[in-house]
Structure 1
Amino acid sequence: MSTTAARPTKAPDTRGPVRKLLTSFGFQIIAALILGIAVGLLGVQLGASKDNPTVLSDTLKTIGSSYVTILRAAVVPLIFTAIVASISNLRRVQNAARLAGQTLLWFAITAFIAVTIGIVLGLVLQPGNRAGDGLETGAPYTVGSWWNFLLGLIPQNFLGLGVSTSLNPETGAASSSVNFNILQVIVVAAVVGIAALKAGKKAEPFLAFTESLLKVIQRVLWWIIRIAPLGTFGLIGSAVIQYGSDKLASLAWFAGAVYIGLALVLFVVYPILVKTHGLSIKQYFSGVWPAVQLGFVSRSSIGTLPLTERVTERNLGVPRGYASFAVPLGATTKMDGCAAIYPAIAAIFVAQFFGIELNIVQYFLIVIVSVVGSAATAGTTGAVVMLTLTLSTLGLPLEGVGLLLAIDPILDMGRTALNVAGQALVPTIVAKREGILDETLYNAPRNGLPFADEDDDDTTPDAETAVDTDAAAALPDTDADTDASGEPEVVGAR
């Protein structure tokens, strides 16, 4: 029986309380949110709007869009290496097939609960019947359907790469853009990972390279994450200016219904599941909160994946061999916010707005689409694909999507935060049920954990490795913002 080694003791933190607060990642995010809203409102007062851009609005838009662009740039290599590495890590886990089955089962159970709550809220609050004036219908920029979803699984090339060209109707100039089909990237990565497992020892150098490349990509993402407060400032400020108060007010009931649903799942359903498995609710929230914060800001489960996996392993005590499979899988398919709560309420909103009465079969279809079709969102920002998939399945007008686009970024923040919380919850529950959860680590104090990977490879136990509780209890707790290698830390993560 092997044991885990205690992490090296770090120098004591000598910072004062003010400096600790100012350098706290959580404080920086909240401050950026408040400052962004304030600057956005100032821009509105100065006459800035979507149709009347100013230097201030353009600056905020550029800051926000640039951050999202940087984040998206890391998505494809992160997905590929994470999926390949996660599948290869299953060879180190006992009862891998059982763990995979339990994970998928709990993904479905929590999605079913979430979509049920969404349907109930849509029927009780009647957001479509309470919509304000001035809403405009419009065709969605992308449409999801079961047929397109299945065809989208077939890779066009190794990278899932596509190029689209459009003509400017005024100037006649052609412009091309490169995009990646995330579903195809997932399929390619899964096939490569399974093939590497079947290849045995001959594939070991490839798997070692993939895991090493994943570490490099994650390190780059840590740097991107550290500038998240700047991106938050730009995104929130730009959203306030672009959408204004009129459209937001007209959809207030809809937005309220969505956020009530998100809150019920996050603060009622998840705690009940945690408690029924004999775990501390406080420890769950304190452990997962850094990833939830980043998900709220980035609006990308994939972009938050490295931090989600980190807190799942180090804060919640899920063995790495299992967490490195379950969390990447969840980041691409586990979407209680985008694929359950939101499409359920949005579909009912559209039906009510157009005066269409839904029958029991259509409500049942909403549940089926939410539980089965989560992969259509593929962990990217936004849930338009999932909504159009739901509407087309129910036979509702797709023009209804245009009604909701004005506040989609605001809703997407809450949706992604819930997604991330669920992606960490399910592996924790499954690990507890299978008796492989490190409860000593789960119940340990949360006083800071480095972003750096200095001891990733040797100190986190795999599923079949026993944990020395004395060593685990000896893990140092520190609020220091840097480790020995100089990499930043997120206060609140462990």
Structure 2
Amino acid sequence: MSANTTPADAKPASPKSGFRIPKVPFWAQIVGGLVLGVLLGWLARSQDISWLVTTLDKIGGIFIQLLKLAVAPLVFFAILVSITNLRKVNNAARLATRTLLWFMITSLIAVAIGLVIGLVTNPGAGTGLTPKDGGKPDHAGSWIDFLTGIIPTDVITPFTQLNVLQIVFMAAVAGIAILQIGEKAKPILTLSESILELLQKALWWVIKLAPLGTVGLIGYAIATYGWDLISKYATFTADIYVGCALVLFGVYPLLLATVAKLNPVQFFKGAWPAIQLAFVSRSSVGTMPLTQKVTERLGVPKEYASFSVPFGATTKMDGCAAIYPAIAAIFVAQIFDINLGIGDYLLIAFVSVVGSAATAGLTGATVMLTLTLSTLGLPMEGVGLLLAIDPILDMMRTATNVAGQALVPVIVSARENILDREAYDHATSSPVDEPQQVAVAA
């Protein structure tokens, strides 16, 4: 045999068989971004490096801007397609009703926890803040604005002004109309599904930039606020984080274990990538494609997930619309020396459950806070007191929001015996692959 002859079954050496750079998990990238952001923010603040502060601001701002760029069309087509997908689900009306019911139940639990924490800790006492430190917002939400604001005056303005609530309304009307028209509307539905897939593909590219966005957002927050501002709001900040943590790591696992008979650890393994991104981006809608992907990975049927997750991303806000306004109302009342009674606390719970759609999945919860304060008759200057600290609070609030948006579909699916329990039991926190038709049933 010639020395140059090789066996027929021999495999040629792969050019890729040499040294490989190990793939860093998404969660590790986010954590790395958090650590680097904190270090750069501390450096910029301690050494007064203005160009570094500006750079961090630009990096974080561009990331959020890219997320918001897709919000309006994403919400419209996600809601439209999710409603039409209900035709593929058995007992669709029952599932939709159960989903809404669990949204309300978890919101009530969250607002109750917020009220208890606020009453026990007195977050407005000893802050050194006075009514003069506050300022009225440019626009205060009211129930009239909320109810009349659902219906747009035209079809363009909601998209240009990013009025998510009006976009949801139009999408719901369009989705129901497509279902009523039937076969004749199939071309419109097919086009909508294609546009949604395109938007999700583009948004997924933005999501991959989350570690870089984390550096900018966290770094700028540390460089701008530091500990001087946080110290004035120490009790209030701790209350928000403790309240959200109790719901996130206490209430949710308890509901999974007792109501759904599921292992809570597996839920967090599967949902963790979305929770992390929510913490960084502070946008439930921006996180929605990833939330839906992890929800499906936890065993929720794709047809049901494509309805429940977009629905939750625009209405399910345990952090922003339950815990936060409850504690914030008590904080503002104490600053302005106003006593709240049992009726006021019941009003807070009512606003939290009914008015949560006012937050509409966007960064921040100012609209929900103004709605709560106006309902209670508290001074609107209280909003100005909390705006300065809002970005720090919003990270934990949004993480809680997104966790709840993934939790409810899992609970409902388990109780309705449509959950893939094998998929749930094997869910991991490994990187989530880029979705193909995330919100469109195959």
Normalization by structure 2: what TM-score? Answer: 0.92
Which region of structure 1 is more displaced relative to structure 2, 63-72 or 111-120?
Answer: 63-72
> Counterpart amino acid of 2:41?
G
Partner of 2:248: 266
Q: Distance in 1 between matches of 2:437 and 2:188?
A: 22
How many Å apart are 1:143 and its aligned residue? 1.7
> Counterpart amino acid of 2:51?
V
Partner of 2:188: 206
Partner of 1:486: none
Select 2:337's aligned residue among 329, 351, 355. 355
The answer as to 2:62 corresponding to 1:66 is: yes
Identify if the C-alpha distance between structure 1 residues 324 and 15 changes in structure 2 by more than 3 Å, giving closer, same or farther.
farther
Question: Is the contact made by 2:285 and 2:362 (CA closer than 8 Å) also made in structure 1?
Answer: yes
The answer as to 2:118 corresponding to 1:115 is: no
The runs of at least 4 aligned residues of structure 1 exceeding 3 Å deviation read: 13-18, 132-135, 159-162, 447-450, 453-458
Any idea what SS the aligned residue of 1:380 has?
A: coil
Select 2:22's aligned residue among 19, 22, 39. 19
Question: Is the contact made by 2:74 and 2:200 (CA closer than 8 Å) also made in structure 1?
Answer: yes
Partner of 1:45: 46
Partner of 1:7: none
Q: Distance in 2 between matches of 1:14 and 1:265?
A: 47
Select 2:281's aligned residue among 268, 276, 298. 298
Q: Distance in 2 between matches of 1:449 and 1:195?
A: 38
The answer as to 2:293 corresponding to 1:310 is: yes
Q: Distance in 2 between matches of 1:156 and 1:373?
A: 21
> Counterpart amino acid of 1:392?
S
> Counterpart amino acid of 2:206?
I
Cα-to-partner distance string for 1:60-90 (whole Å, 9 max, x where unaligned): 1111111111110010111011000000001
Select 2:364's aligned residue among 364, 382, 385. 382
Q: Distance in 1 between matches of 2:369 and 2:149?
A: 17
How many Å apart are 1:220 and its aligned residue? 0.5
Question: Is the contact made by 1:160 and 1:182 (CA closer than 8 Å) also made in structure 2?
Answer: no
> Counterpart amino acid of 1:436?
I
Partner of 1:172: none
The answer as to 2:152 corresponding to 1:155 is: yes
Partner of 1:465: none
How many Å apart are 1:136 and its aligned residue? 2.0
Partner of 1:247: 229
Cα-to-partner distance string for 1:214-272 (whole Å, 9 max, x where unaligned): 11111101100011111111111111222232111110110000100000000110000
Q: Distance in 2 between matches of 1:148 and 1:335?
A: 20
Question: Is the contact made by 1:137 and 1:401 (CA closer than 8 Å) also made in structure 2?
Answer: yes
Q: Distance in 2 between matches of 1:109 and 1:291?
A: 22
Q: Distance in 2 between matches of 1:212 and 1:238?
A: 37
> Counterpart amino acid of 2:22?
R
CA RMSD, aligned part only?
2.1
Q: Distance in 1 between matches of 2:287 and 2:106?
A: 20
| Residue correspondences, number | 425
How many Å apart are 1:186 and its aligned residue? 0.7
The answer as to 2:86 corresponding to 1:90 is: yes
Identify if the C-alpha distance between structure 1 residues 374 and 133 changes in structure 2 by more than 3 Å, giving closer, same or farther.
closer
Question: Mapping of 1:384-403 within 5 angstroms?
Answer: 384-403=366-385
How many Å apart are 1:435 and its aligned residue? 1.0
Identify if the C-alpha distance between structure 1 residues 284 and 16 changes in structure 2 by more than 3 Å, giving closer, same or farther.
farther
Identify if the C-alpha distance between structure 1 residues 45 and 453 changes in structure 2 by more than 3 Å, giving closer, same or farther.
closer
How many Å apart are 1:14 and its aligned residue? 8.7
How many Å apart are 1:160 and its aligned residue? 3.7
Cα-to-partner distance string for 1:9-49 (whole Å, 9 max, x where unaligned): xxxx99999824xx22111111111111111111112235x
Question: Mapping of 1:418-429 within 5 angstroms?
Answer: 418-429=400-411
Q: Distance in 2 between matches of 1:455 and 1:217?
A: 10
> Counterpart amino acid of 1:33?
L
Question: Mapping of 1:405-420 within 5 angstroms?
Answer: 405-420=387-402
Q: Distance in 1 between matches of 2:216 and 2:30?
A: 12
> Counterpart amino acid of 1:35?
L
Identify if the C-alpha distance between structure 1 residues 266 and 16 changes in structure 2 by more than 3 Å, giving closer, same or farther.
farther
Q: Distance in 1 between matches of 2:431 and 2:347?
A: 43
Structure 1 gap segments, 5+ residues each: 1-12, 49-53, 163-177, 462-494
Partner of 1:443: 425
Select 2:133's aligned residue among 133, 136, 144. 136
Q: Distance in 1 between matches of 2:20 and 2:368?
A: 45
Select 1:145's aligned residue among 142, 146, 150. 142
The answer as to 2:427 corresponding to 1:430 is: no
Any idea what SS the aligned residue of 1:436 has?
A: coil
Question: Is the contact made by 2:129 and 2:335 (CA closer than 8 Å) also made in structure 1?
Answer: no
> Counterpart amino acid of 2:83?
I
Q: Distance in 2 between matches of 1:319 and 1:155?
A: 33
Cα-to-partner distance string for 1:86-145 (whole Å, 9 max, x where unaligned): 000011011111111000000000000000000000000111013245882112243211
Question: Is the contact made by 1:36 and 1:237 (CA closer than 8 Å) also made in structure 2?
Answer: yes
Any idea what SS the aligned residue of 2:161 has?
A: strand
Cα-to-partner distance string for 1:419-447 (whole Å, 9 max, x where unaligned): 00000110111111111111111111526
How many Å apart are 1:280 and its aligned residue? 0.8
Question: Is the contact made by 1:140 and 1:384 (CA closer than 8 Å) also made in structure 2?
Answer: no
Structure 2 gap segments, 5+ residues each: 1-15
Select 1:225's aligned residue among 200, 203, 207. 207
Select 2:100's aligned residue among 84, 101, 104. 104
The answer as to 2:330 corresponding to 1:334 is: no
Q: Distance in 2 between matches of 1:15 and 1:122?
A: 59
Identify if the C-alpha distance between structure 1 residues 305 and 14 changes in structure 2 by more than 3 Å, giving closer, same or farther.
farther
Partner of 2:52: 56
Q: Which has the higher helix share?
A: 2
Question: Is the contact made by 2:306 and 2:439 (CA closer than 8 Å) also made in structure 1?
Answer: no
> Counterpart amino acid of 1:236?
I
